[in-house]
Amino acid sequence: MKKLVRTFGAALLIWGFCAPGANANVIIAGTRVIFPAKDGEVTVRLTNQNTTPALVEAWVDAGQPDSTPDKVNTPFLITPPLFRMEPNRDQSLRILFTHSETPLPTDRESLFWLNVLEIPPKPSGPQLQGKNYIQLAIRSRLKLFYRPDGLAGDPIKAPGELTFKTATLPGSGALIVHNPTPYYVTISEFSLVADGTSYKVDPGMVAPMSDLRVAVRQLKQAPAVGSLVNFQSINDYGASVALKGTVAP
């Protein structure tokens, strides 16, 4: 899923001129990027839906939300990395795999993040003369899954391979979600039905061939074996898929 990070520019707070919310005008096609290793590169399309131009900067990080283009060290090159987008125009970003100082696993996916920073033009007009203002740059952050060639199984079917075990955390019940596949599985919605009551479960992302322990809020003891698990998973195309499971011992 996309994450929007608001970054304050060099401007100051405006009197009598407030924006109730900041929305990205540069729209990214899709909510995630799948990078097949065999292709060597992927293309991501951007669209500037605003009536004014925007300066756009793009980079890939390895999981640091506060990353900046000059400090990242990932095996990817983006072209163009910095460009001006005219209003109502499209722009393609090419993401190329270059090299990795530490070899990436070949038996499972690796997770990176695509950052797209939109910097709006400096406001102008007589209504702003002599006034201070605030200028927002908006950063969109999307998951980028580097997928080695020849991985076992089907990524579309991976969410259905998850298994659930009963567990506890301090102050609440919990589930251990096991992912036996070589693919990342993102759970966007999660609930547990126990004794006829539905309990919300913390969503999350389960790494390949790994476990994720998640809290079952408002349930104070370990979930009963056989309890029904309902969850929504996000597939390669950004679509939400509803699935079910049961709690094992």
Q: Which residues are 48's β-sheet partners? A: 26
What pLDDT score was predicted for residue 128? Answer: 62
Cβ distance 91 to 54 under 8 Å? no
Give me 171's structure tokens.
């102050």
CA distances from 223 to 63, 78, 157, 226, 230 (A): 32, 46, 26, 9, 14
Give CA 162 to chain center in angstroms.
20
Q: What is the spatial distance between Cα 27 and Cα 38, in angstroms, rounded to a whole number?
A: 27
pTM attached to this predicted model: 0.86
What pLDDT score was predicted for residue 213? Answer: 96
- Provide block-wise average pLDDT over 10 residues at a time, the chain (249 residues): 44 32 80 96 96 94 93 95 95 93 93 95 68 79 97 97 95 95 97 94 97 93 95 96 96
CA distances from 242 to 170, 189, 191, 197, 225 (A): 29, 9, 11, 19, 21
